[in-house]
Amino acid sequence: MTQSTIAEARARVASLFEQSTLSSGVYAGRWIESKGRDVSTCISPIDGEIIGSVSLAHTVDYEEVLESARCSAQAWSEIPAPVRGYAVLQVAEELERHKKDLGLLVSLEVGKTVGEGQGEIQEMIDIGRFAAGLSRQLYGLTMPSERTAHRLQEQWHPLGPIGVITAFNFPSAVWSWNAFIAAVVGDVTIWKPSSDAPLTAIAVTRLANDVLSSLGHPPVFLLLCGNGRTVGERLLDDRRLPLISFTGSVSTGRHVATRVASRLGRSLLELGGNNAAVVSEKADMEMGLRAVAFGALATSGQRCTSTRRLIVQESIYRVFLDKLTRLYSTVGVGNPLEANVLVGPLINRAAVDGYLAAIEEAQKQGGRLLCGGREKDITQLPGGFYVEPTIIEAESDMPILQQETFAPILYALRYSAFDEAVAIHNSVPQGLSSAIFTTDLREAEQFLAASGSDCGLVNVNTGTAGAEIGGAFGGEKDTGGGRESGSDAWKAYARRQTACVNYGRALPLAQGVRFDID
């Protein structure tokens, strides 16, 4: 059953590619031929088997992509924003037509469950529709001028070509947050996907640009699959790219920020999350249990919004932990293409090693293992990268709690007074997503207040994972401060221009300054 399910999925997703054995990883308005290029073999974390090969960008390909981006940006920026929005909407509709196959490709490539893979594609569809509406709402302010017969206003212009570097855990959705919003603003995107997830990027790029071509538009979504030295570093240093959006680790994000800032470019950073859920004694316990489990286990704990710390009021601590541990014992771990599985594999061997090392270090620091803690062997999937969902009782001063491990490891802590819970919550360097479970209005409002959660995302009676596209997504502190997706995040992809128009016959100066010339 397991092997046949995987074979069926591979057969379905083959239709997304023109070549079944080797796909070009470079799109510069045309797909660059693979001959003479280095090749990357794509391994599914489900079973360790090859699912495809991708030719990687050469240095000459980089320049062709940049030149294509420059030409496209000039033409695309002259198209009215609502027309651009309509084009993005048609891309979203095309993605919906291929939703099932694209979702299966996500599952095969990064190990997400079928539901999560479909959900990722739905997120692209949703952001495309959001961007289409946004294309008629790129508002600028008009301000009253202190000078007679003057008008003062601000307007927003496209930046031009921008670079988007994405991580494996959301191999397409995070790109769409950037690319679709940037497209309606008038920008062209050069996408460098994770080396662990190039196939999804190729399929999405192909579908999106086919739609644009059918509408008579230039190629707006360009692609550069390649390693950091050939592609990534060049993007960071390229003055032709006024904005680099990067999703990844804190350490790499610091490097990105430094390199881009050295040329006075902009960086939009979505970095690590070390997210916590606070469970009050006044919580709806069943709701809290379900939300914590989803937050800690979805995508096998490989979301930047995954719940990594659980902070429970001491009067319910033992009851809550006992219930959660029993719940963990019922969770299906294995082939994510099968219906009864909620936790699939980690992305690769290095992720498994990181999981095991973190558990060993936590125990050295005094942590007590409640469940899990081992690599999981699945007989039918000997090449897959599976681990057991893990809960570790911890103390807030353990150094391991300051780190983010991309794996299903949950550290459980207890608190007495509410202020203590907030202090524990805010004690880590990251600040992405947070949650509190309580039926007490005062506790909820305290957590939402300026003195409460210090994260960019705050949730009351819902978990840390699973943000909606309508709100701006991003975090504070070591998470980088970036904002993507909804609200007014579109302004990151535009340049603001303040315009002053004198429609009178005199030349009054601001602040009452006089400059009389005879």
96 in active site: no
pLDDT of the residue at 3? 67
Model confidence at 19: pLDDT above 90? no
In a domain, 263, yes or no: no
For residue range 450-469, list pLDDT tens digits in order. 999 999 999 999 999 988 99
Q: Choosing from 64, 120, 270, 443, which is the catalytic residue? A: 270
Mean pLDDT of the region 42-49 = 96
**For the chain, what is the mean pLDDT?**
96
376, 333 contact by CB (below 8 A): yes
Instruction: Specify if 267 maps to a domain.
Output: no
- Residue 356: which CATH number? 3.40.309.10
Residue 218 sits in the same domain as residue 143: yes
Residue 223 half-sphere exposure toward CB, CA atoms < 13 A: 31
**Looking at the chain, how many residues does it have?**
518
Judge if 201 and 287 occupy the same domain: no
Told to judge if 455 belongs to the known catalytic residues of this protein, a careful annotator would answer no
Which residue in 42, 225, 304, 455 is the catalytic one? 304
Distances (CA, A) of 346 to 318, 361, 388: 29, 19, 11
Tens digit of pLDDT for each residue in 281-340?
999 999 999 999 999 999 999 999 999 999 999 999 999 999 999 999 999 999 999 999
The answer to whether residues 159 and 102 belong to one domain is yes
Query: Is residue 483 pLDDT above 50, yes or no?
Result: yes
What pLDDT, on the 0 to 100 scale, is given for residue 1? 44
**What's the Cα-to-Cα distance from 154 to each of 84, 266, 310, 499, rounded to whole Å?**
21, 20, 45, 6
Mean pLDDT (whole number) for 87-115 = 97
- Give the mean model confidence (pLDDT) for residues 54-74: 96
Would you say 212 and 179 are in contact if contact means Cβ atoms under 8 Å apart?
no
> Is the Cβ–Cβ distance between 54 and 225 less than 8 Å?
yes
> What is the biggest distance separating any 2 CA atoms in the chain, rounded to whole angstroms?
94
Tokens representing residue 73 in the block:
């940006």
pLDDT tens digits, 340-356: 999 999 999 999 999 99
Distance CA 277, CA 290 (A): 12
Do 426 and 285 fall into the same domain?
yes
Q: Return the CATH number at 97.
A: 3.40.605.10
pTM: 0.96
Give percent above pLDDT 70 in the chain.
98
Q: What is the pLDDT of residues 71-88, one digit of tens each?
A: 999 999 999 999 999 999
Give the pLDDT confidence of 130-183 residue by residue, as tens digits: 999 999 999 999 999 999 999 999 999 999 999 999 999 999 999 999 999 999
Same-domain status, 206 and 334? no
Query: What's the structural domain count of the chain?
Result: 2
- 179-236 confidence digits (pLDDT tens): 999 999 999 999 999 999 999 999 999 999 999 999 999 999 999 999 888 899 999 9
Mean pLDDT across 85-113: 97
307-313 vs 409-415, strand pairing mode: parallel
Torsion of CA 297, 53, 166, 222, to 10 degrees: -150
List the Cα angle 105/109/113 in 5-degree steps: 75
Task: Count other Cβ atoms within 10 Å, centred on residue 90.
Answer: 18
